[in-house]
Amino acid sequence: MPDNGDDLTADIRRAFRDARRAGRSLPDYPGTIPATLEAAYLIQNAAIREWPDAVAGWKIGLIPPGVRDLYPQERLAGPIFARTVHVAEPGEIVDIRAIEGGFTAVEAELLLHIACDIAPGSVAEDAPLPPLIAAAHLGIEPAGSPLSAINDLGPAVVVSDFGNNAGVVIGQRLAGDLETLLGPEPPALRVETLVNGERIGEKPLTAIPGGPGRALRFLLRNLGRRGITLPQGAWISTGAITGVHRVEPGDEAMVTMEGVGELKVRFVPAQPLE
């Protein structure tokens, strides 16, 4: 996917960047909504270059079937930045920055840890996936944006603001066979999401459409078209298992996975970034 360096979207990128850094919300989308996903990824590419942090991984999200006639992709992608990667110690509650008046959500996820550098276009569509993966972990993706209506405005808006990502929380490692886990029928492990002690989502790991392996193949195609190498050590968040559960600053959430463990997070009001 070529990047023409078009400055027509500079105001959009600047508005999101400044709001994220300041920890303040945006009342509306700060410009003309991208007409296509390709245009949205050009905004994302430029915004990544301008953000003062390294990309440490990628989140994958599902595009609702009802809008795929306008945005003909099954999934979308956004960067996870290094300073927002949290490794949870047993029993720890991880604090997550949440912008008041913006969008914040908790998502139960399966995380994949990349085992080797993957250059654009270097993995065939039918190539085995297990050699690419060092481990799989229980995780939480805190979704986050300064724009409260980001999901309501559609996938192109989501893509243009870093995929509506606010980091990743890494939990316990899954035991077992990566080939099965990444296949079309992964283990049906039960996953629960609780907010302030109330169960708000419960689904099996198989709720990820096509399984985490299909999500990874999407990402490899996406990054390949954009000329982006996926480096060894990157973390991949493969998609919300129990759903996208909106939260507010002050809320606490817990995610559990059958036979694996649990993760806890607390959403705290965003302070300006240094």
Instruction: Give the pLDDT confidence score for residue 94 in this predicted structure.
Output: 98
What is the band of 1 on the pLDDT scale with cuts at 50, 70, 90? very low
Identify whether 274 is part of a domain: no
Identify whether 208 is part of a domain: yes
Q: What is the mean pLDDT of the chain?
A: 96
Q: What does the pLDDT average to over 70-96? A: 97
pLDDT at 4 exceeding the cut of 90: no
Identify whether 112 is part of a domain: yes
Instruction: Give the pLDDT confidence score for residue 274 in this predicted structure.
Output: 84
What is the band of 68 on the pLDDT scale with cuts at 50, 70, 90? very high
pLDDT at 2 exceeding the cut of 60: no
Q: What does the pLDDT average to over 76-95? A: 97
Q: What does the pLDDT average to over 232-249? A: 98
Q: What does the pLDDT average to over 182-194? A: 96
Structure tokens at 11: 């105001």
What's the CA gap between 187 and 110, in Å, rounded?
A: 12
**What's 64's domain CATH number?**
3.90.850.10
Identify whether 1 is part of a domain: no
Q: What does the pLDDT average to over 197-222? A: 98
Identify whether 192 is part of a domain: yes
Identify whether 56 is part of a domain: yes
User: Distance of alpha carbon 85 from its chain centroid, rounded?
Assistant: 11
The tally of domains found in the chain comes to 1
What's the CA gap between 157 and 213, in Å, rounded?
A: 26
Identify whether 140 is part of a domain: yes
Identify whether 115 is part of a domain: yes
What is the band of 6 on the pLDDT scale with cuts at 50, 70, 90? low
Q: Percent of the chain scored above 90 by pLDDT?
A: 96
- Provide the H-helix boundaries in 207-261: 211-226
Instruction: Give the pLDDT confidence score for residue 205 in this predicted structure.
Output: 97
Query: Which of 200, 101, 78, 99 lies closest to 149, judged by CA?
Result: 101
CB-based contact 85:235 (threshold 8 Å): yes
Residue-number span of the structural domain to which 155 is assigned? 7-269
Instruction: Kindly list the distances between the CA atom of residue 120 and the CA atoms of 81, 90, 123, in Å, as whole numbers in the listed order.
Output: 20, 36, 8
How buried is residue 221: exposed, middle or buried, by Cβ count under 10 Å (0-12/13-18/19+)? middle
pLDDT at 162 exceeding the cut of 80: yes
Within 8 A by CB and 6+ apart from 80, the residues are 55, 56, 57, 58, 59, 165, 167, 168, 235, 237
